Amino acid sequence: MAFLIPDNTISMGGVLVNYYPLTVHNPRKIAMPGKMTKSVIGVTIHNTDAIKAASGTTMAEQYTRATVNGNMNSVRVHYYVDSVGAWQNLPLTWQGWHAADGSGNGNTRTIAIECIMSGKGTADDKAAEDNAARIAAELLKTYGLTIDNLYTHTHWLNVRDGHKGTVDQLNVMKHPYKCCPLYIIPHWQEFKAKVAAYMGAAAKPAEPEQQDFKPVQFLVKIVDDDLNIRSGAGTEFQVVGKVYKGYVFTIIETKNAKDGGLWGRLKSGAGWINIGDGYCKKV
Written as one string, the DSSP assignment of the chain is: -PPP--SEEEEETTEEEEE--TTT--TT------B--S---EEEEEEEE--PPPTTS-HHHHHHHHHHTTTTTT-B-SEEE-SS-EEE-S-TTB--B-SS-TTSHHHHHEEEEEEEE-SS--HHHHHHHHHHHHHHHHHHHHTT--GGGEEEHHHHHHHHTT--S-HHHHHHS--SS--SSTTTGGGHHHHHHHHHHHHHH--PPPPPP-SS-EEEEEEEEE-SSEEEEESSSSTTSPEEEEEETT-EEEEEEEEE-TTS-EEEEETTSS-EEE-STTTEEE-
Mark which of 201, 227, 248 sits at the end of a domain.
201
Same domain (yes/no): 22, 58: yes
Question: What's the CA gap between 79 and 67, in Å, rounded?
Answer: 12
Are 166 and 109 contacting, i.e. CB atoms less than 8 angstroms apart? Answer: no
Q: What is the pLDDT of residue 172?
A: 96
Q: What is the pLDDT of residue 247?
A: 84
Same domain (yes/no): 241, 186: no
Q: What is the pLDDT of residue 206?
A: 37
Mark which of 159, 178, 201 sits at the end of a domain.
201
Same domain (yes/no): 173, 72: yes
Residue 208 in any domain: the answer is no
Q: What is the pLDDT of residue 210?
A: 40
Name the pLDDT band for 215 (thresholds 50, 70, 90): low
Same domain (yes/no): 13, 131: yes
Per residue in 16-60, pLDDT (tens digit) is: 999 999 999 999 999 999 999 999 999 999 999 999 998 889 999
Dihedral sign from CA coordinates of 252, 247, 128, 116:
positive
Residue 1 in any domain: the answer is no
Name the pLDDT band for 1 (thresholds 50, 70, 90): low
Same domain (yes/no): 192, 272: no
Same domain (yes/no): 14, 148: yes
Are 107 and 39 contacting, i.e. CB atoms less than 8 angstroms apart? Answer: no
Q: How many domains does the structure of the chain reveal?
A: 2
Same domain (yes/no): 195, 255: no
Same domain (yes/no): 141, 169: yes
Q: Nearest 5 degrees, angle CA 238-CA 242-CA 248?
A: 130
If you average pLDDT over residues 226-230, what whole number do you get?
86
Mark which of 201, 223, 244 sits at the end of a domain.
201
Same domain (yes/no): 225, 196: no
If you average pLDDT over residues 254-258, what whole number do you get?
87
CATH of residue 76's domain is: 3.40.80.10
119-133, 157-171, 229-243, 249-263 — which is least confidently predicted? Answer: 229-243
Q: By residue range, what is the domain housing residue 18?
A: 8-201
Same domain (yes/no): 191, 232: no
Residue 89 in any domain: the answer is yes
What is the reported pTM?
A: 0.73
Same domain (yes/no): 193, 230: no
Same domain (yes/no): 180, 226: no
Q: What is the pLDDT of residue 236?
A: 86
